[in-house]
Amino acid sequence: MDSLLIVDDQIEVRRQIRSMLQKASLEPKAIFEAGTVASALELIRQKRPSLLLLDVILPDGTGFDVLRELSGAGEELSVIMMTAFPQFDYAMQAINSHVKGFLVKPLEISEFTRMILSVQGAEFNEKKTHLSYTLLDNYLRGRQINIRLNEIREQTGINRLTGAHYLALIASVEPSAALEKRMLHFWALQRQEGIQSVTYLQDTTRLVALLRTDDPPPLRERLARLLKEAFGYFIAGCASPDAECGIRRAYLNAEFALRYAKSLLIHGQIVSYASLNAADILIEEQRASLLDASGEAAEKLVLEFARQGVSPAAAAQALERFCHKNGMPGVSLNAASLGQLSISFKQALANAPKADSRKNSVQLARVKRYVDDHFTENINRSSIARALGISYSYVGDLFQKEMKISLTEYLLNLRMERAMELLRQTRLSVAEIARRVCYVDSKSFIRAFQKKTGCTPGEWRILNRENGRP
């Protein structure tokens, strides 16, 4: 949305709309205001806004008078109607006038934002068709060889991107009924910051953004901030190779960086392919075979280290990291030479726990890390399973079997520990502390706290201060 015209005779409403646009990071490059039919028509002719927010009742006529004038003049622009009188005939007349949406005042920010994003999404898709995205995705994944790449680049807008080389970003996000809306919000945030991209949903948990850039690191930081604002939780990988590297190679490298980020559950930041060292990349490529405790795969990997010039020390550090994150903690490898490293690594694989036990250990670490990062939010077994791509029952069984404690009790312990920390170190009210540890009301928090500690939060705070604690 390049420009917006707000047509409403109430100054307070026009100010409210500006405020809501700012809060939702949807401010256009230019905003114009009018309070009458005559001034609205004059501004439309002069400024050519891309979106019109139009009140139904105006001092010198109605919003439909504006629409009729526009229709007679052959003007085409997106229109959202507003009124304090939600009569059905208004809505029908708005629909018949080809209006994009209809809002009832007083305006509510979530519905207002949804409507603006919906209109922006429609404009976005008029230029970049779903078919073009499907063809582009097939090309990037190597599923379609006989493809007119130049035509796809033109249809999707890739040819209009500027910069020395491509940046491909692939982000894994939590599944949500509002995923498309969030993707449109992400796209709108990019537009707001002057970032040009081709952005599309690849499936129900992944989005792809293709950009061109002269300076990848700052752009990665900006994109990570926008992803967090639009989606909250995300895991992402990107690649920004040199100018000679094509779009498909950038995508494949970003895919690899995403897999690496997922294996370590690195969330809230974008892992760059360039940041991965040669040893980590080679290990990740052999990961499946190594997890099967294959001595042959270990030998093949060490030979590849030698070909790529990876030092024994760097290779040993990377392999020890691999062992630690895959259920083989405490492994120390002989880095005197690559030959000695091969022998000690094969021995570590041979002595490793069985595959099922190792898998449980790895998954438990992932689940614990996720819970530790999100326990102040409204999470449960279902949301954790969705976020990590594992089954609902497996999450509960994993905690009970490996930690001898239920997920519910583990969550309770984390929340009570945080509550005690806040009681001890701050002057926050009990109600505010309850909210910060994800209790909807202070009564249920007080009951849970008293059951856990034997005293109320207020009593606990006094006792700890009497014991000389801050």
Mean pLDDT, rounded, of the chain? 80
**CA-based Rg of the chain, rounded to a whole angstrom?**
28
Contact 23, 189 (CB under 8 A): no
Mean pLDDT of 53-80: 83
pLDDT band of 38, cuts 50, 70, 90: very high
Determine the 3-state secondary structure of 289 from DSSP: helix
Contact 222, 233 (CB under 8 A): no
Mean pLDDT of 65-71: 84
Mean pLDDT of 45-50: 90
pLDDT band of 326, cuts 50, 70, 90: low
Mean pLDDT of 254-278: 83
The pLDDT tens digits for 129-162 are: 455 677 788 888 876 656 666 777 776 777 777 7
Determine the 3-state secondary structure of 446 from DSSP: helix
Mean pLDDT of 62-90: 75
Is 3 a residue whose pLDDT tops 80?
A: yes
**Residue 338 burial (CB count, 10 A):** 17
Q: Which helix (H) or strand (E) holds 259?
A: helix 247-264
What is the DSSP-derived secondary structure letter of residue 433? H
User: Tokens standing for 182?
Assistant: 């969030």
Give the per-residue pLDDT at 127: 45
Cis omega before residue 106 (within 30°)? yes
The pLDDT tens digits for 267-296 are: 888 999 888 877 877 887 777 677 666 678
Give the per-residue pLDDT at 181: 74
pLDDT band of 54, cuts 50, 70, 90: very high
Dihedral sign of CA atoms 346, 351, 357, 360 in order: negative
Is 329 a residue whose pLDDT tops 70?
A: no
Give the per-residue pLDDT at 468: 46
The pLDDT tens digits for 174-231 are: 776 677 778 878 887 887 787 888 888 887 788 999 988 877 788 888 999 999 988 8
Question: Cα separation of 454 and 460, whole Å?
Answer: 9
The phi and psi torsions of 203 (rounded to 5 degrees) equal -160, -160
Higher pLDDT, 268 or 97: 268
Higher pLDDT, 81 or 396: 81
Question: Cα separation of 290 and 375, whole Å?
Answer: 33
The pLDDT tens digits for 449-460 are: 999 999 999 999
Give the per-residue pLDDT at 331: 78
Give the per-residue pLDDT at 129: 43
pLDDT band of 36, cuts 50, 70, 90: very high
Higher pLDDT, 193 or 53: 53
Phi-psi region of 69 (alpha: psi -120 to 50; beta: other; left: phi over 0): alpha
Give the per-residue pLDDT at 88: 46
The pLDDT tens digits for 354-407 are: 555 555 666 777 788 888 888 888 888 888 887 777 777 778 787 777 778 888
Higher pLDDT, 291 or 340: 340
**Residue 433 burial (CB count, 10 A):** 22
Mean pLDDT of 76-97: 65
Give the per-residue pLDDT at 295: 73
Complete edge-to-edge strand list for the sheet that includes strand 165-173:
198-203, 206-213, 165-173, 234-239, 270-272
Contact 247, 150 (CB under 8 A): no
Mean pLDDT of 60-79: 80
Mean pLDDT of 102-114: 78
Give bridge partners of residue 198 from the DSSP assignment: 210
pLDDT band of 93, cuts 50, 70, 90: low
Percent over 90 (pLDDT), the chain: 18
pLDDT band of 34, cuts 50, 70, 90: very high
- Strand blocks (E) in 25-129: 30-34, 51-55, 57-58, 61-62, 78-83, 101-104
**Residue 328 burial (CB count, 10 A):** 21
Mean pLDDT of 326-340: 79
Contact 188, 230 (CB under 8 A): no
CA torsion, ordered 221, 223, 226, 227, to nearest 10 deg: -110
